[in-house]
Structure 1
Amino acid sequence: MLDAKLRPLIDPPLNRVGRALAGAGVTANALTFTGLALGLAGAAAIALGHIGWGLALIVANRLLDGLDGAVARVRGPSDLGGYFDIVADFAFYVSVPLGFGIAAPANALPALVLVASFVLTGVSFLAFAVIAAKRGEETQAHGKKSFFYSTGLAEGAETIAVFIAMCLFPAWFVPLAYGYAALCALTVIQRSAMAVRAFTG
């Protein structure tokens, strides 16, 4: 919901840093895999009870996730890079609630529900992208991407805001997890309605 609105604000500084990194020989894929390693380390830190470190590593992951796209725009995007980027994103997204679920037994069920909701939103997102590409549809609402990005209520910005809230207020994990899982479910319904409108006929 907020991703497209934030792009005009975050893209210019990311692009400046991306040009410098590309000039230094840094590749987008290197940033993607480094970011993934940091994100998974953040989830592991949360699982071990080091939530402050988890928060710092989550923020680092998101920074590198923005920079890999900025470098790709300079060096030229690739289909393989787009594949690695989305796989790394979803691996990171499911790892954070998993970390909270391991950290405290009371978090296990809501963490499982949240991971399941991420799977559903991911399936709806990727299925929409595949069919939109098959029909030759394009959008630049989220900037230039390797494939079609459909808009939804629960997107990257909202997910990171919830993760940060979970780290700052770990005692609120259960209501935050259930609440965001509900928003993800609404996103699937919203995207399905969009599919009906876009793919009928």
Structure 2
Amino acid sequence: MLDTHARKYVQPIMNRTADWLLSIGLSANQVTVMSFIIGVSSGLFIYFDQFIWAVFVLWLSGYLDAVDGTMARKTKPSAFGTVMDVSFDRVVEISTILGLAFRFPGSIWALLLLSTSIIFAMTIFLTVGAVSEKKGVKSFYYQAGAAERTEGFILFTVMILFHDVLTILTLVFVVIELFTAFQRLTEAKRILG
């Protein structure tokens, strides 16, 4: 929801960052890789009780992930860049979940449910994007939903910082993911027939 509706407010900042990164010779795909490397370190920071660093690298990764798309649209978007971007996003999320699971094994069952709900929601999202004839600003149809990447980062941040109630927070995330999945499934039925 925030990715869709708040983007217009942060897009000017992302445009300036994209212009600067392009001016120093970086490509969108290079920034995607940088975002990935920074993002996967979040799981390690969680495991080693460096929770503030985990949140910092998670959000820096997310910001660069948004900027790489802006860079691609300013230059030449590539299909492989899209595949890398979407795939690396999931690995960053997996890293965060694994960091939490290894650091707080008592919550592993809830984190497994979260992983399952994310797989389900992303399957719907990607399948609708692949079969839909609609196109948006991105290289495929982007289905808005209650929980987009920014909401996921907010929930991960709360889970990392308030890990004393990790199981409860994870279950809240699961419910939000499932709501989003069924929201997207309903929209898919409407637009695809």
Q: Under a length normalisation based on structure 2, what TM-score does the superposition of the two structures give?
A: 0.95
1:137 paired to 2:134: yes
Q: Which residue of 2 aligns with 1:174?
A: 167
Q: Which residue of 2 aligns with 1:122?
A: 122
* Code of the aligned partner of 2:3: D
Matched residue of 1:137: which SS? coil
Q: d(CA) in 2 for partners of 1:19 and 1:38?
A: 21
8 Å contact from structure 1 (residues 2, 158) kept in 2: yes
Matched residue of 1:100: which SS? helix
* Code of the aligned partner of 1:150: Q
Q: d(CA) in 1 for partners of 2:94 and 2:148?
A: 14
Q: Under a length normalisation based on structure 1, what TM-score does the superposition of the two structures give?
A: 0.91
Q: Which residue of 2 aligns with 1:82?
A: 82
1:20 paired to 2:17: no
Deviations 1:8-54 (A, max 9, x none): 01111110111121122101111111111111111111122221221
8 Å contact from structure 2 (residues 100, 160) kept in 1: no
Q: d(CA) in 1 for partners of 2:154 and 2:104?
A: 21
8 Å contact from structure 1 (residues 43, 95) kept in 2: yes
Segments ≥4 residues shifted beyond 3 Å: none
Q: Which residue of 1 aligns with 2:140?
A: 147
Q: Which residue of 1 aligns with 2:72?
A: 72
Taking only the aligned residue pairs, the percentage that are identical comes to: 27
Q: d(CA) in 2 for partners of 1:194 and 1:162?
A: 24
Deviations 1:127-174 (A, max 9, x none): 111110xxx2223xxxx2111100111111110111111222121211
Q: d(CA) in 1 for partners of 2:108 and 2:70?
A: 36
Q: d(CA) in 2 for partners of 1:56 and 1:13?
A: 18
8 Å contact from structure 2 (residues 41, 95) kept in 1: no
Out of 163-172 and 111-120, give the one that drifted further: 163-172
Q: Which residue of 2 aligns with 1:191?
A: 184
Deviations 1:48-79 (A, max 9, x none): 22212211211221121122112212222111
The alpha carbon displacement at 1:117 in A equals 0.8
Structure 2 residue runs without a partner (length 5+): none
Structure 1 residue runs without a partner (length 5+): none
Q: Which residue of 1 aligns with 2:158?
A: 165
Q: How many residues align?
A: 193
